[in-house]
Chain A
Amino acid sequence: MFKKVLIANRGEIAVRVIRACRDMGIATVAVHSEADKLSLHVQLADEAVPIGPAPPAESYLNMGRIIRATHDTRSEAIHPGYGFLAENADFARLCEKEGIVFIGPNSGALALVGDKVRARRTMEKAGIPIIPGMKAILKSVTEFEAAARSIGYPVIVKASAGGGGKGMRIVCGEKDLRPALEAGMREAKSAFGDESVYLEKYIEESRHVEFQVLADNAGAMVHLFERECSIQRRHQKIVEETPSPALDPDLRARMAETAKKAMRAAGYNNAGTVEFLLDKDRNFYFLEVNARLQVEHPVTELVTGVDLVRRQILIAAGEKLTLRQEDLHQRGHAIECRICAEDPENNFLPSSGKISFLKEPQGPGVRYDGGIYGGWEVPIYYDPILAKLIVWAEDREMACRRMAAALDDFVILGIHTTIGFLKDIIHHPEFRAGRTNTAFIKNYFDGWKESGKNEDKLRLALAAAAFDDMAAATRPGGGPAREAKEDAAAPWKTLGRWRIGGAGSHGI
């Protein structure tokens, strides 16, 4: 087994991987940009190496610096997390060349599934159903226009090099195609360093259902059932669950077998996910392979009892898969909510600034995976995901109630978050009935505003502010406003003019 692993990521996923390494007795090395030197993952790791300025291209995407940090710290393997270099075949190849184990699939499989267009061709050849669309990359807008016409609107623009919703745009008519292509290409370029995009038929009222697969280096393979990820905003998943309310045992078995077949066709090893689109007539189509640990992996962990990060590390270290398909079962129900630094009442604008107070929910069946702490300043440069709240319960209804209660107990002050929005999703009767599709947010949550602020709560909030005002008068600084002004001119701090810690406040 490895003695030391470098984690080439940040935020909650870096924290998650560090914790798995600790469980396995493996030392950890964090890397961080200048914007992240005070971040939680840096504090939790055994060692930390700075790798450059805040923009991802100069730090978390800088292969040379990450490889050097790996050698300098004598780490034997790199866990890439998700995003950044996680699905970069050049990076996996570089690791192989440098004698570093890349904790993920082999570079050949990664290159294949990472190129979404090539993956579509491979899957089609293997007899796996794919969504009608382009099977080659085109260059000119004219060619795209012709392709879109032959596919038939609406079409969806997708980045060939990656997933996670980056670069995706739905186009309903020809006049919107050019700006969608341009925006998609820019976003793809900035997220993956590759601007190639392609078109697929956009299938309305569909569900997103994916299957988790584990494969060892010798070709042994199991699936760990599905995750239903239909609750999406801007093609980004925000609520995930397992089991899917849409599957019955027969459909589940057929999709699982197809997922394994897809992974075999790709020559895949380590942990990966096969994403399917399930249409309203219960036909399923291959979407793509996510060749990495997924954001939503914890729901699978909670219902199967398998630690996916640990399994990734074991497989990467060359160990044989000890799990047998017949031993794997779905036990109970799990739901995950992604807590993002966004303002759901204001078009989900990113919200950076200082988290002035944080209290995570607790209780039976409640799991919190976070990358933040109270007093930490959320940088603007990276994904807005702050933390994930995952609950497990014996059945779906209990899990929903548990999630709603846990969200009610989740306090993040200082920045806008999606907590209130998520709460209303969980409470929504259509969600409760399991009737979800990828247009759920668009259909039911357009122009959402927070509700449920009754007079009692309002009065208590006012009294608290009044009490705080009276207490402020007795503070040495004469109130909270003074320090705020000193800081007001600092760049990037407009949303985060917070006072620091205990200075000038009443005693604890």
Chain B
Amino acid sequence: MEFEFLIDGALRKISLEKKEKMYVIRDGETILETEIRPVSENELMFLVGGRSSRVYIARDGERRLVFTGGRKFVVCESLHEAGHFLGGDERTPERGRHVKAPMPGKVIKLNVALGEDVRKNQTLVIVEAMKMENEIKSAIEGTVKKIHVAAGDLVDSEKSLIEIEPKR
């Protein structure tokens, strides 16, 4: 079977075929024959060339969280999911318009008012989570167009807090 995954945000193809008791991994030029044994719901044992490696895996919706050799990977199913995965990226201007809560928490303070001009990196809102204050800054220069929250509000992550009209 051919698979197309986004691993830590990068597109990768891999093929996995069952061949009797073994599996064949094809990754570009690399071909590996391996035995794969599920050890528990979250553990897979790979046996490649007589050498065993343990891989830990957990599922989050369409994403898989994989741990092997001391490193953690996020493996997504599709491009659609990739958008969700890259949700924290604020480089695109479209993203900068909608200022979202990066984590669940409580709005402590609004530092800007409706219609106010804001600079890039200006603190817009302060959201408290786990007893620490986190300053949510503007990714772009512009004007405050809408404010969706008030001080004291509990917000979920990805909740839109403020909308900024970018400066032309």
Contact = CB atoms under 8 A, between A and B. Distances in A.
A is bound by B: yes
Interface of A: 56, 166, 183, 186-187, 190-191, 234, 341, 346-347, 349-352, 356-357, 359, 374, 380-384, 407-409, 411, 413-414, 420, 423, 450, 452-453, 456-471, 480-481, 484-485, 488, 491-492, 494-495, 497-499, 502, 505-506, 508
Contacts of B40: 508
Given A382-B130, A468-B64, 11 more contacts: A183-B133, A186-B133, A352-B130, A356-B42, A413-B58, A453-B8, A458-B7, A484-B60, A495-B103, A498-B58, A508-B41
Dominant SS among interface residues on chain B: strand
B134 interface: yes
Nearest to B66: A461
A12 B40 CA distance: 27
Contacts of B134: 347, 349-350
Contacts of B91: none
A341 B69 contact: no
Contact of B109 (A186, A351, A505): A186
B102 A466 contact: no
A492 B41 contact: no
A190 B133 CA distance: 10
A492 B106 CA distance: 12
A407 B62 CA distance: 27
B4 to A, nearest CB: 10
A503 B133 CA distance: 38
A357 B66 contact: no
Contact of A187 (B34, B36, B103, B133): B133
B55 A460 contact: yes
A357 B5 CA distance: 22
B58 A464 contact: no
Contacts of A471: 38
Given A234-B132, A464-B55, A350 B103 contact: yes
Contact of B131 (A383, A462, A488, A492): A383
B58 A349 contact: no
Given A357-B42, A459-B25, A465 B158 contact: no
B23 interface: yes
A275 to B, nearest CB: 20
A351 B65 CA distance: 15
Nearest to A191: B131
10 contacts: A349-B129, A359-B56, A460-B68, A463-B32, A464-B46, A464-B68, A468-B57, A495-B157, A499-B59, A508-B40
A506 B126 CA distance: 44
A459 B104 contact: no
B61 A481 contact: yes
B14 A463 contact: yes
A420 B60 contact: no
Interface of B: 1, 3, 5, 7-8, 12, 14-16, 18, 23, 25, 27, 30, 32, 34, 36, 38, 40-42, 44, 46, 53, 55-62, 64-73, 75, 77, 88, 102-105, 108-109, 126, 128-134, 156-158
Contacts of B38: 471, 506
Contact of A494 (B3, B56, B158): B158
A356 B58 contact: yes
B128 A498 contact: no
Contacts of B61: 480-481, 484-485, 488, 497
B1 A466 contact: yes
A159 B32 CA distance: 59
A346 B60 contact: no
Contacts of B128: 190
A473 B18 CA distance: 14
A414 B60 contact: yes
Interface centre among A347, A420, A465, A506 (most CB of B within 10 A): A465
A349 B129 CA distance: 8
B59 A356 contact: yes
Contact of A166 (B23, B57, B70, B131): B131
Contacts of A383: 130-131
Contacts of A452: 70-71
A413 B104 CA distance: 19
Contact of A465 (B66, B131, B132, B156): B66
Interface centre among B7, B67, B131, B133 (most CB of A within 10 A): B131
A413 B16 CA distance: 24
B151 to A, nearest CB: 11
